[in-house]
Amino acid sequence: MRLTRVTRNALLVGVFFALDKGVGFVRQVIIARQFGLSEALDAFNVANNVPDLLFALISGGALAMAFIPVLTESLTQRGERATWQLFSYVANLAFLVTGVLGVLVGIFTKPLVTWELGVAPGFGPEQQQLVVNLMRLNLIATVIFSLSGLVMAALQAHQHFLLPAMAPLFYNLGQIFGAVVLAPEQGVHLGNITLPALGLGVYGLVYGVILGAILHLGIQIPGLIRYGFQWQAGLGLHQPDVHRVLRLMGPRLLTVLCIQLIFIVRDNLASRLATGAVTALTYGWMIFQVPETLIGTALGTALLPALSEQIARNQRESFHQSIQRAVQVLIALTIPLTIILGLGMRPLLDVVFGFGVEGTDLLWRVSQGYLLGLLGQCLVEVMVRAFYARQNAWIPLLGAGMTLGIYVLAGTQFYRWLGAPGISLADALSFSAEAILLTFLLVRSLKRGFQVLPVLARAGLAAGISGGVIWLGQAGIQWGHSILMAGGLMGLGGLLSLPWIWREMRLLIRL
C-alpha cells in the first residue's frame, strides 16, 4: 500500500502531535496534582493570554499561515537562495516587532489585567498582581517563539515536517521540568530517585515555559542547517515578496486577533465565577485539543503546502479533490468521537486529575461543551488553509470576525445561566457557525460542492451505536463508571463505529 505525500506528512505530524498531547497531558496532570483548582493556577493560566496573543499575531498563526504559500511559491519558482533571503527578512522583521510590543506590554501589564475589559477584572488585588508578575516573565518566551514559529513555517514549506512536529514535544518537556523541579517545595520521587526541588511555586511553571521555548527553537536548528540556511541582515521592506507576505498577513493578523480575543473574553468571564472556573476551562480546552489537534490540525498542517503547490501549478481538480477527501475524513472521525468522549470520559477525568466530585463534574461538563464543536473546529482548520493556499486572507477574516461576535453574544449570556460550561458551549456554537460559512463560501468560489451526505449519515449512525453502547453499559452495569469499564466501553464504541466509517479510514491513504 503506497501512501501519498500528504498522507505520509499527516501521519507524521499526527504521531508527533499525539506524543506532544500525551506529554502535555502528563504535564497538566502534574500541575493539577500540585496546585488543584486554586487561585495560583487560575492566575498562571490567565497570565498566558496576552503573551500567547503576541506570538499568535506576529510569528505564530498570523505570519506563519501567510508565510507558507509565499515561501512555497518562491521555493518552486526561484530556488533556495531567494527563499532563504525572504525568510531572513521576515524573521528579522518579526523579531523586531515582537520585541517592541513585548516591551510595551511589559510596561502596561497592570491595566491590561485589571481593566474591566482586560484579562482578569474579577480577581482580587493580590491575585491580579500575581498575574502581572507572571505575564511579564512569559514575554521572554514570546520573543523566543517569534523566531521559532517562523523556522517551523520555513521547514514545512520545504515539505520537512519531522523537526517542526517534534518542537512542541520539547516545549512540553521544558514545562514538565519546571513543574517537577522548579515549582515543588519537596522533591518528586521517581522510584528510588528524588528529584531536586527549588520551591519556586507557580513562578517555576513560568521558568519552565521559558526553557520550553528555548528547546522549541533549538530542536529545529538542524533543519535550517540541512537546507542551507544563510542569515541575511535587513528587513527587505523594498522586496515584492515581503510586501506580499505583509499584505496576506494584514487580514490574517486581524483573523488571529479575533481568535485570540476569544481566550481573553473566556477568562474575563470566568474570572467572575467561582475559583477554579478559569482552570476548568483551560483544562477542558486542553482535553478538547487532543482530538482536534490529532485530526484537524494534523490534517490541515500537512495539507497546506500541498494545496499551495496545487494552486501554484494551476491543478484545480486536484485542489478540489484534496479538500473533498479531507472533509469526508473529518466528518467520519469527529462525529462518533464527539459522542464517545462526551459520554464516556468522566471516570477518566476523576482518576487522572483528582479534582473531587464537584471539580470533576465541572471539568466534564466544560469538556462536553467544547466537544460539541469538534467537527466545526476541524473543518475550520482545513477551510482556512484552503483559502490561504489561494492567497485569499479576507474570507478567513470574515469568518473569524463572525466567530468572535457570536462568541461574545452567546458567552455573555450562557455563562450567567450555565456557568463555565456555558462558555465552552458558546465556543462550540461560534466555531461551528464559522465552519458552515467558510464551507459555503469555498463551494461558491469553486463552483463545485462536496459529496458529504452519505458520510454524514454513516457517521451519525456510528455515533448513535457507539453512544448507545456506552450509555447502556454505564446504566446497566454497577461498575460501569469505573475507569477500567469506562475505557472498555469507549473502546467498544469505537470498534463498533469502524465498519460504518471504514471507507473514510481507507480514504486517509489517498489524501
The strand pairing partners of 189, in sequence order, are 194
3-class state of residue 55 by DSSP: helix
Per-residue pLDDT for 53 more than 50?
yes
What is the maximum span of the chain, computed from C-alpha positions, in angstroms?
A: 71
For residues 170 and 27, give the distance between their C-alpha atoms in angstroms, rounded to a whole number. 12
Least confident range of 65-79, 355-369, 371-385, 453-467: 65-79
Phi, psi (degrees; rounded to nearest 5) at 390? -90, 10
CB atoms within 10 A of CB 142: 28
Find the range with the poorest average confidence among 9-18, 78-87, 260-269, 344-353. Answer: 9-18
Query: Average pLDDT, stretch 364-381?
Result: 97
240-256 average pLDDT score:
78
Is residue 392 over pLDDT 80?
yes
pLDDT on residue 368: 97
Q: How far is 134 from 142, CA to CA, in rounded Å?
A: 13
Which of 7-11, 109-113, 260-264, 407-411 is the least confident region? Answer: 7-11
Query: How high is the pLDDT of residue 476?
Result: 66
Q: Any idea of the CA torsion for 120, 125, 129, 135, to the nearest 10 degrees? A: 0
**Region of poorest pLDDT, from 2-16, 162-176, 480-494:** 2-16
Across the range 244-255, mean pLDDT stands at 77
Which residue in 467, 465, 440, 463 sits closest to 452, CA to CA? Answer: 440
Dihedral (C-alpha) 296, 299, 304, 305: value to the nearest 10 degrees? 160
Give the list of residues 6+ apart from residue 276 with CB closer than 8 angstroms, or none.
Answer: 37, 38, 42, 355, 359, 362
Range of weakest confidence among 97-101, 105-109, 317-321: 97-101
Q: Which of 1-10, 38-47, 207-216, 485-494 has the lowest mean pLDDT?
A: 1-10
Q: What is the pLDDT of residue 268?
A: 93
Task: Tell me the C-alpha distance between 357 and 349, whole Å.
Answer: 10
Is 61's pLDDT higher than 80? no
Q: For Cα atoms 21, 23, 25, give the angle at the middle one, nearest 5 degrees.
A: 65
Average pLDDT, the chain: 85
Q: What is the mean pLDDT of residues 445-468?
A: 93
- Summarize the confidence of residues 253-268 as an average pLDDT: 88
Decide if 270 contacts 281 (C-beta within 8 A).
yes
φ, ψ of residue 189 to 5 degrees: the values are -95, 125
Residue extents of the structural domains in the chain: 276-511
Query: Buried b vs exposed e over 202-211: b needs ≥16 C-beta within 10 Å?
Result: bbbbbbbbbb
Q: How many residues does the chain have?
A: 511
Task: Answer yes or no: is pLDDT of 398 > 60.
Answer: yes
Q: Does residue 141 contact residue 171 with C-beta atoms inside 8 Å?
A: no
Of 112, 111, 97, 109, which Cα lies nearest the Cα of 147?
97
Convert the pLDDT of each residue in 182-228 to its tens digit: 988 887 777 778 778 788 989 999 999 999 999 999 998 888 788 77
How does residue 480 score in pLDDT terms, banded at 50, 70 and 90? very low
pTM over 0.85: no
From residue 157, how far is each of 6, 212, 323 by CA, in Å?
Answer: 13, 24, 19
What does the pLDDT look like over 485-499, one tens digit per residue? 888 889 999 999 999
Q: For residue 60, is pLDDT > 60?
A: no
pLDDT band for position 243 (50/70/90)? confident
